[in-house]
Amino acid sequence: MSAATAAADVLPVVIIGGGPCGLAAAVSLWQAGIPVVVLEAGCVVNSIVSYPTYISFFSTAEKLAIGMPFVVSTEKPTRRDAMAYYRAVVQHFALDVRQYEPVTRIESAGTRFVVHSAPRGLPPRATTARAVVVATGYFGTPNRLSVPGEDLPHVTHEYREGHEAFQRTALVVGGGNSAVEAALDLYRAGAHVTVVHFGPTFDKNIKPWVRPDFEGRVKDGQITLHWNTRVTAIEPDVVTVERNGVSERLAAQHVYLMTGYTPRPELLASVGVALDPVTGVPPHDPATMETPTTGVFIAGVLASGLDANKIFIENGRDHGPLIARALLERRDFTV
């Protein structure tokens, strides 16, 4: 193989993650004239696909837009609006997004990187690039309770909609937006809802239009709420909880663990980037989003570590221009 042929086989940039922030980075690089391939473990914006069916965003459409207008007829775009919009972004910019191709590891090869992936239904693939952007988002590994029964079939860390729990008992664990919105949706679907949270009050940044609705349902006895309470065991129809050293058994035919997620460290670790053990934030320069490993960047919610309320689509989309500018300023990075 000639040197010219070998060089042609090396991509300028590979982005790992086809969520909104990964796509935003791809658009920024495209606008800067830098070719890019996006490898996505699921479908385009897979994290949004996993949202509750009828959810509306906290942000306006304008703040979710990446490279082209996002126009909706309502104040807050819905999950379905967002999925349609980001599909349109991929088509408009003709982005090379390889769906259902999870990345298994990144290998350093001198000044280049070999990204190993496992495309669905195809042999494993190795893609070589001069730079890598890791934009794998917030939904890494669910925060487990580590209690007996957590893996029973009626227990889930994801919430889609409440229909399945119609006229049945449902227990929601958590005190953030996901837990509160799940509880309200379950209540409206006719479930008998109990919410358990280990803290004394809601998590910060509860959506302002959601909290009064939830508090009203609790006040009226339509949703049962237990603060300062921890789950200690899960059985097929009962959850055992503990508060102030006192145990109680609560009816629960469906259990929704809205306890958040922890970013997966494996990909960054494979190129020598370790997450902060306390914050979960990968070390990086906020002016460029580059990690201590030259040529490895991060983008999006991954940069917030364990604090999911720090970076959203509306500010994570700004990481792309920083990365594009950093690459263009390098004398050794020619397209």
Give residue-wise pLDDT tens across range 267-298: 999 999 999 999 989 999 999 999 999 999 99
Contact 27, 66 (CB under 8 A): yes
Is 133 part of a structural domain of the chain? yes
What one-character-per-residue DSSP string does 252-306 give? -SEEEE---EE---HHHHTTT-PPPTTT-PPP-BTTTTB-SSTTEEE-GGGGGTT
| Structure confidence at residue 206 (pLDDT) | 84
8-state DSSP, 163: G
pLDDT (tens digit, 9 = 90+) per residue, 171-221?
999 999 999 999 999 999 999 999 999 999 998 778 888 899 999 999 999
Does 14 share its domain with 125? yes
Does 237 share its domain with 127? no
Does 232 share its domain with 106? no
The residue from 197, 222, 257 where one domain ends is 257
Structural domain boundaries enclosing 119? 3-140+261-328
Distance CA 78, CA 4 (A): 48
Does 76 share its domain with 184? no
More confident residue, 127 or 266: 127
Is 60 part of a structural domain of the chain? yes
| Structure confidence at residue 331 (pLDDT) | 66
Does 13 share its domain with 127? yes
Contact 186, 165 (CB under 8 A): yes
Q: Which residues contact 111 (CB under 8 A, 6 or more apart)?
A: 130, 294, 295, 332
Is 202 part of a structural domain of the chain? yes
The dihedral of CA 115, 119, 125, 129: what is its sign? negative
Does 81 share its domain with 201? no
| Residue 135 CA: distances (Å) to CA of 15, 17, 45, 235, 298 | 7, 5, 11, 37, 6
Distance CA 17, CA 99 (A): 9
Does 161 share its domain with 179? yes
Is 48 part of a structural domain of the chain? yes
| Structure confidence at residue 4 (pLDDT) | 39
Name the domain count of the chain: 2
Reading the block at residue 134, the tokens are 């890791």
Does 310 share its domain with 222? no
Is 333 part of a structural domain of the chain? no
Q: Where residue 26 sits, what CATH number does that domain have?
A: 3.50.50.60
| Structure confidence at residue 141 (pLDDT) | 85
Is 176 part of a structural domain of the chain? yes
The residue from 257, 275, 310 where one domain ends is 257
Residue 7 predicted with pLDDT over 60: no
The burial class, CB within 10 Å (0-12 / 13-18 / 19+), for 329 is exposed
Closest CA to 171 of 139, 140, 147: 147
Is 334 part of a structural domain of the chain? no
Is 86 part of a structural domain of the chain? yes
Does 9 share its domain with 135? yes
Reading the block at residue 260, the tokens are 């958040």
The residue from 257, 288, 304 where one domain ends is 257
Does 186 share its domain with 237? yes
Q: What φ, ψ does residue 237 adopt, rounded to 5°?
A: -130, 5
Q: What φ, ψ does residue 25 adopt, rounded to 5°?
A: -65, -40
Does 280 share its domain with 131? yes
Strands 141-142 and 261-262: antiparallel
Taking phi over 0 as left and psi of -120 to 50 as alpha, with beta for the rest, 219 belongs to alpha
Strands 192-196 and 96-98: unpaired
Does 14 share its domain with 136? yes
